[in-house]
Structure 1
Amino acid sequence: MKKMYILVFMAFGFTFTASAQLYFENFESFNLGDISPQSPHWRTWSGVDGGAEDADVVAGGQEGNRSLIIDGSQITDQLLLIPGNPSSGQFAVGFYLAMHPGKSFYFNMQAALTPGSDPWQQALMGGNVYFNCDGASDGVGIVTSTTDCSAPEETFSYPVDTYFRVTCYYDLDNQTWSLRINSNLVFENHPFAFGTQTFESLAAIDFYSASPTNEGYIDVVEILDQTTVGTEDFDATVFSVYPNPVKNVLNIQSMAVVETVEIYDIMGKLLISEKPATISPNINTSNLSPGTYLAKVTIGDASKTVKIIKQ
C-alpha cells in the first residue's frame, strides 16, 4: 500500500510546500480566560501575565468554539509576538475579526522588540489602525498618525456583525505595508514612518482597547513568511490554507487570484473541483469524510499541493 501512495504522489507531482507558516492559532485548545499565561506567543504590555491587561479567550468563534476578545476596558493591551523577530523580508499577519454595530477596534505594528518580561517599550510604526474610530462610523476604517480620528491617511470599508478576514502584508525591506479586507486590497505601500521611531524589526502586533466602544473578536490567527517559498520562482502563488485540520470550510489565503482548487483523496481520486477565480477563496469541505486529503491550488500557470486533514 505504501508503494501505491508514493506512485500516486509522483503521478500528480504533489508537493507539500507553500509559504512558510510561522504561527497558527484558532484558540480551540485554550481554556476560557486570560491568554498570556497559556501561550508564549502572547504577552501583555506590562509583561505581567494575567490580570486586567490580558485579553480573554471566550466561547464562540469563526468556525470553532473559541475566540479572543479585545474589550472596551481601555486597559486590555495584548501583544502578538512575531516569531523570529525578523528585520528583513516579506511577512503576512492575518486574522478573522468580528464586530457588532456600534463597536470599535484598534491595532498597530510594533517595530522593535522589548526582551523578557520587562514593560514593553513603545515602537509604533505604520500608523494607528482604527475600525469605527469615533464609535459612530460602522463599516469605516482608517489609518492615521493621530489618536483623534481627525486626519486619516488611509480609509477603507469592512463588513459589520460578521466575521471578516484582515490580512496585513509587511515589506520589511521597503518599510511599507498593505491591507486586505477579505479578498479586497484596500490600500498598499503605506509607509512605516511614524514620528521619530526607527525600524528595527517586525516585533509584534499590538491589540489595544483604545476606547469604551472597543469590542472585537479575533479568531484564526496566522503569521506567514512570504520571503521565500521554495527553489522555484513562485511569488504569484504564495498561499496558505486554514484551518488544518478542517471541519466544514477550508480557507485559502492568497495574494493573487486563485484559478482552481482541486481536492483529491490519497489514492488520487478527484473529489472536489472548484474555479473560484478570486483572491483568498473559501472551499466547502462538509461533504468529505474524516481523513487525509490533498488540496491542489492553481494560481496563473503554476500549482502547489498541500496536505489537509478533515475532521
Structure 2
Amino acid sequence: MKKIFTVLVFVFSASLSFAQISFKDDTLHTATYQNEFEVVGYTKFQKTVATDTDFVWVRTVNTLPSGWSSAVCDVELCRTSTTDSADFVLGSNRMVGDFSFHFYPSNNKGKGSMTVVVYSKANRKNSTTIVVFAEIWGLGIASVQNSPYVFFPSPANEVLNVNGISDKDLQVRITDVVGNIVNESVLNSNDASINISNLSAGTYFVRFSDGDILRTQKIIKQ
C-alpha cells in the first residue's frame, strides 16, 4: 500500500510539473506608418492542462513615445488603454486562445514596447511572458494624399499591379500586419506588377518610394 501511494504521489507531482502555459511567440515586432490608426501584434496563448482555466495577465512594461497609447486584448475582452491587469478564463474545453497587442500612435512616429506576463491562478509559478515591439515610420517627403501611384486590385489574388510609373524606378516593400517583410521589388514602366500568389490570405501594407515620394497603402490578399 505504501508503494502504491508513493507512485501516485510521483505521478501527481509529474503532472503538475508539466502543467505549463505559454505564448506561441515570446517576442513580436510590429510596424506601420504614422497615418495608420493602430499597429497590432497577434499571437496565441496556450495551455497543456484542460482543467487549468483561470488566469491573470499583467502589463509590467509599457514604454511609449509621447502621444502614444496601447492596449491588450485577451481571450475574453479587449481592455482599455489604462488597464494594466485583468483576469480571464480559458475554459476546460479550450486549449488555445487569441491575444493581441495594440499600439495607437496618434500620428506620432517613434518606437515603443510592452511586456505582458500571464500566470495561472492555481499556481503563480506557472507563468509566461511576451514582449511586443512597435515602430511607427514617418510618411516621407510628400503628402500621402498626393501620390501618383495606385496599387490594385484590392482584394488581390495572384498579382498586384501599379498605375502611375513613368521614368522612375519604384522601390516596393510589402509587410504583414506584424511588420514582417514578405516581398521586396523594384518596379518600372516595363515591369509594373508583383506576384503575390505565395502570400497567405490577409491584410498587408505596401510601402513604396521613387526617391521623392514615400507612401504606404493597405491591401487585402484573398
TM-score normalised over the length of structure 2: 0.36
Q: Which structure is higher in strand share?
A: 2
TM-score, structure 1 as length reference: 0.27
